[in-house]
Chain A
């Protein structure tokens, strides 16, 4: 073990940037007694506004569980989770839905676009749950699609688009409600290397424009595009500030 799961560097707040994610002693256990599995074991870290970080680790290392907790899709067994400086550890499902809607933009490996809806309608979906007026929904969705260079395919259905294009639409959908972070789960897992590069470039641009990006990946090439890597092993953080340039040593 290279480093212990260091105490979250609250005191190092030399820069006054907002904390987007703060996990404090978060545990996630499955099963009981003999069959107890510690998916997350006392995990603590902080991600600040504007960061571009990757969560890495082998399968079963706890990175997916961690990502589900950060995404408010799952709740922890113990510990606290502050999202955008708000405690969401014990929220009701109804309120969590609102948090996911307004604060988190999800990007999935399989894009998860609704087949019966056009690109524009897919991007409008999160705003529908935020009770945005239909006219504004359309305008904002079109703007978001232009931002990911998909302004010319507004009325295309997912099956009329390539994988890379679908992922761009999915990214537009993720940013349309101006969330505090983009949470991407293996966003390039289904793409070829050329398209992967394009999509990663897009993530880079979005990050440069100020959006916090958190990405779960097992591909070193993808992780190299980020600024910081949080490395998981056996439910614990091995290193929470691994520089992409040091990645080769770990691998």
Chain B
């Protein structure tokens, strides 16, 4: 019966559902995208290795206040960690820079990372052809580089870049390897990076920038096992406090030791907040859709006063009328919910097909969304339905 009435007013029913459709589709899409981003981020972290620890110069607080970090990390710190911390497997200090790389007529701005041969082990970095530089290259200050996939493509469009020469600030470097493609992650893109031995980098490009030796930005550390990550974090912290003479027990660290877990948590928090934000925005549109339903149902009650009067004359009790109008509202919003869900899922599948974001179709989001839209139909439908149920049959019949 309710279905017939709705079908008889197809255009109006569709327009009424539109709000719920859009609301539902956006909830599912937004939550899906948010969760996809979360999954993507955590996958990226997993690919770096879960036993990785980053020792970063300065603290979050200091960085935020744009204070030049005092007591910068130096190469000696990295060596100390490698030799004195028992739970550490490998240590790769890292210096960052940015230079113009030239090969023939091609130029490209590249991120420079000066590091040691352990970097490849600690950061799970693989070469697709050639090799990463080795201990020998570091000892010799060899002018060799291993370049990212995008750099290789840009500088050597003809292909086969291993053995070719790249010029950086007037010096020639031999390309000995190309990194596998990895894509951008958290603002850094390995594909746009040129790796070179840390000794070569300090001697030729950056120089010794700290009174205590070679200043470095990050020390990449891998623990002996996943279980030892926390122990390693603690030991590294203690060692560095000693080395940096942070004798006061209450004094802040001058460095940050961050594990993958920490980073994962931070990223999880950010993407989680993002998901909630997106869901909230989508939820508002769902709410607006509900108001749309109430609006149309109220119009419908006014418009169908005569029908209500007739039904009452034929024996419909107030609760019969209440039920009829409530069911109509619920059907509208459930139907809208179902259509919106279908659109949301297609959107998610589309996103998954064209982007690396593996946006998941969350069963939870679907249940929530359909449940909420049903609830909205009930909530916003009950008021107009009560208006209808309360109509005086004589008044209703007379309004011809």
Contacts and interface: CB of A to CB of B under 8 A. Distances in A.
Interface residues of A, number: 27
A15 B43 CA distance: 94
Nearest to A183: B313
Contact of B317 (A94, A106, A117): A94
A116 interface: yes
A200 B223 CA distance: 101
Contacts of B307: 114
B310 A112 contact: yes
Contact of B315 (A100, A110, A114): A100
A101 B314 contact: yes
Interface in A111-137: 112, 114-117, 121, 125-126, 128-130
A119 to B, nearest CB: 14
Contacts of A108: 310, 397
Interface residues of B, number: 22
B169 interface: no
Contacts of A125: 311, 314
A14 to B, nearest CB: 35
B393 interface: yes
Contacts of B317: 93-94, 97-98, 129
A73 B4 contact: no
A106 B319 contact: no
B363 interface: no
B306 interface: yes
B313 A110 contact: no
Contact of A115 (B8, B312, B319, B320): B8
Contact of B394 (A73, A102, A129): A73
A68 interface: yes
B292 interface: no
Nearest to A65: B394
B136 to A, nearest CB: 88
A68 B8 contact: no
A71 interface: yes
Given A97-B315, A98-B315, A117-B4, A73 B393 contact: yes
Interface string B1-24: 100110110000000000000000
A97 B5 contact: no
A228 interface: no
A51 interface: no
Interface string B261-278: 000000000000000000
Nearest to A99: B315
B400 interface: yes
21 contacts: A68-B394, A71-B313, A73-B312, A73-B313, A94-B318, A94-B319, A97-B316, A97-B320, A100-B312, A100-B314, A100-B315, A102-B315, A106-B314, A108-B310, A110-B400, A112-B397, A114-B307, A116-B7, A126-B315, A129-B315, A173-B314
Interface of A: 68, 71, 73-74, 93-94, 97-98, 100-102, 106, 108, 110, 112, 114-117, 121, 125-126, 128-130, 173, 177
Given A114-B307, A126-B315, A128-B1, 12 more contacts: A73-B313, A74-B394, A93-B317, A94-B317, A101-B316, A102-B315, A112-B306, A112-B310, A115-B8, A116-B4, A116-B8, A129-B316
**A-B CB proximity, top 6 nearest:** A101-B315, A116-B8, A97-B317, A129-B315, A112-B310, A126-B314
